[in-house]
Structure 1
Amino acid sequence: MSADEQPIASVWTRPRRQREQLSREQIVSEAVALLDAEGLEALSMRRLGTRLGAGATSLYRHVANKDELIELVVDEVYGELEVPAADEAAGWRSAAGRSGASLRSMALRHPWVASVLGQVGLAHLGPNVMRMSERMLAVFKSAGFAPDEADQAMSTLIAYVIGMATSEAAYLSLIARSGKSEQEFVKSLRTSQERLRLPEGQAVQHGKDPRQIREDNFDYGLQRVLDGLEARLRSTNGQ
């Protein structure tokens, strides 16, 4: 095999080390916990090693660098997704909507994930990412989209979900830094808006649970994306 034909190095192609005190699963689990608690900026091999009670050298026996660690943690949280099967065309919209809602929930549980998804190269996709992507792609194929367009439809849905979740996660992070509950934070916003006498469309909605407002706003956009995909499907099928 020539140098040009050498396989791309990836954490997924490296043999697992057996009978070691520290396992890859332990490393990944602790890395996810660190990211959830302190964000991407806090992640380093040294910091992770300290949390595990081991030196960074022990970690390097399992992962070559931080980039490989990112591949592992992204794949780990992707395993939380729930992508229902759509065995017939009539069920594709419900399945796609539930998949999008599950992706949003995962991204809000792990706010760091949206910012690193673009760093995971296609050649380095892990088993969970591949499995969930294939299941979601099957939903759009079952709807009647041609293979190439099914991939585009799936990417459109994912782009909407990740965009909304990134904005929502930033908002929730701001609330967390304020030390207030979401209800308290929104109440303080309402007070400020009343003082500024903002137009009704720009003011925070009164009398509604702020979490429910976020759910409704996300679902509204999700349904409009699905409306567009459904209209496209009908036009290509001559309906």
Structure 2
Amino acid sequence: MTAKEQAFPSVWARPQRQRREQPSLSREQIVAESIALLDEEGLDALSMRKLGTRLNAGATSMYSHVSSKDELIELTVDEIYREIEIPPLTTPDDWRAAAWTSAHSLRTAVLRHPWIASVLGEVSGASLGPNMLRMSEGLLTLFEEGGFDPDGANTALGTLFAYVLGQTTSEAAWLTKLARSGQSEEEWMARMLPAAEAAVRPFPRLRGQFEARMDAASQQIRGSDFDLGLDVVLDGLAALRARAV
């Protein structure tokens, strides 16, 4: 069997090794320290060697839990999904408020760990992670108990997830760029203002949008844009739900 045939496509597909004695380092410790490193220094700083130094651990104890950096990233991404709150429903009509809360919880988690925007498309086994499965099951439960049929609940889950990640990964990438620049959002926008004003001048509709938003804080704009788009998504899901009622 070749090395390629022996490799597992995901950390969740690889059988756990059986250990005869209690290891000095746990997978939970490795994942927690990985997230701390990523939050502090970003994706480029993550390496097995650097992580081992932070944990004061040798390669053998590290690789007994995680065989590669790709597996480590899968584990860290799934751990972020543990942070997502999905509130239970009191009545079926609570589905919209619960979906709103869940969407904002996912957005907050991504923006708390903006490096995740760079890796979501590369995590092949993300859907098999226990926290991802818990979140998906929770959202399906929310929508089914809220009056969606099973197919509609699956569509609602995918639509909500796609909207939040589509909007929020762009925000996270922007915040990562800002952090690398060493500037605040206000400082960056102030430097870009003259060029932006000149660029939109020939385009009356874009100029109107630009002028209407010029006095608002960038963070406020991003938040209000997210909420408006989320309302549109939930309006569409409400129409989907009505077909099953």
Give the alignment of 1:141-220 within 5 angstroms: 141-196=144-199, 198=201, 199-202=207-210, 205-220=213-228
- 1:74 equivalent in alignment to 2:82: no
TM-score relative to the length of structure 2: 0.83
- Contact 2:11–2:125 (8 Å) recurs in 1: no
- Answer with 198-207 or 48-57: which moved more: 198-207
- 1:52 equivalent in alignment to 2:61: no
Give the alignment of 1:21-100 within 5 angstroms: 21-100=24-103
**Aligned mates of 2:104, 2:85 — CA distance in 1:** 9
- Contact 1:157–1:225 (8 Å) recurs in 2: yes
Gaps of 5+ in 1: 1-7
Query: Of residues 118, 129, 132 in structure 2, which corresponds to 1:125?
Result: 129
The count of aligned residue pairs is: 229
- Answer with 41-50 or 138-147: which moved more: 41-50
**Aligned mates of 2:189, 2:183 — CA distance in 1:** 9
- Contact 2:156–2:237 (8 Å) recurs in 1: yes
Query: Of residues 134, 137, 151 in structure 2, which corresponds to 1:134?
Result: 137
- Contact 1:190–1:204 (8 Å) recurs in 2: no
Gaps of 5+ in 2: 1-9, 202-206
User: Percent sequence identity over matched residues?
Assistant: 49
- Which 4+ residue blocks in structure 1 deviate beyond 6 angstroms? none
Q: Name the SS for the 1:208 alignment partner.
A: coil
Give the CA deviation at 1:16.
7.4
- Contact 1:141–1:147 (8 Å) recurs in 2: yes
What is the alpha-carbon root mean square deviation over aligned residues?
A: 2.4
Give the CA deviation at 1:21.
2.6
